[in-house]
Amino acid sequence: MRLAGKKVIALVDEEFEDLELWYPVHRVREEGAEVHLAGEVKDKTYVGKYGVPAKAEYSFDELNSQDYDGILVPGGWAPDKLRRYPKVIELIQEMHRDHKIIGQICHAGWVLISAKILQGVTVTSTPGIRDDMENAGAIWKDEPVVIDGNIVSARRPPDLPPYGKAFCDLLADES
C-alpha cells in the first residue's frame, strides 16, 4: 500500500479506450491510492469504445488540482473530446506546473498538446499521433513507456503493465 494517502484523477469521456482507463485505475488503487473518475457531467455514465461503462464521480469543474497528486488521461477517442474542455486543460497545466504526475497513453497525448506542455519533453504515444506530438515540440520515441520529469507516457494497451508500474513508481516517489 505504498500509495496510501495519494489521490489521483482519472479523466473520462465517451469512447475512452476501455483498458487504457481501467487498467491504470485498478493498478493505482491496488497500491492504495484513491482514484476519482471525472467527466464533464457528474454522475453521468460514459461508455468506452468496447462498451465498458465508467461513471463520473465528479465533474471537471468540481476538481482542484491542489487536492491531487496525479492525473491519468486515457486514450481512445475520448482525448479529442477532453482537450476541448477549458477545465481539463487548466488541470493539466496546473498539475504540470506543480510537478504532479501526469499519465498519458495512446491518443491521450492530444490533451497534453492542447495544454501546451510538451515543448522539449520526451514522450511516446500511438504512432498515429507522432506527427502531432512532434509538431507540439515533443521528442517522440517508439518505446513502451517514456518518463520525462513528471510525465509518464505509453503507446498502446500492450504497454499497460510497464505504464502502470511506472506511474505508480513516480507517484510513490513524490513527497
Q: Which of 96, 99, 106, 168 is catalytic?
A: 106
Q: Which of 26, 36, 107, 168 is catalytic?
A: 107
Annotated active-site residue 107? The verdict is yes
Place of cell 476519482: 36
- How many residues are recorded in the chain? 175
Give Cβ neighbours of residue 95 (< 8 Å, ≥ 6 apart).
Answer: 65, 68, 70, 71, 101, 102, 150
Concatenated DSSP letters of the chain? -TTTT-EEEEE--TTB-HHHHHHHHHHHHHTT-EEEEEESSTTPEEE-TTS-EEE-SEEGGG--GGG-SEEEE--BTHHHHHTT-HHHHHHHHHHHHTT-EEEEEGGGHHHHHHTT--TT-EE---GGGHHHHHHTT-EE--SSEEEETTEEEE-SGGGHHHHHHHHHHHHHH--
Catalytic residues: 106-107
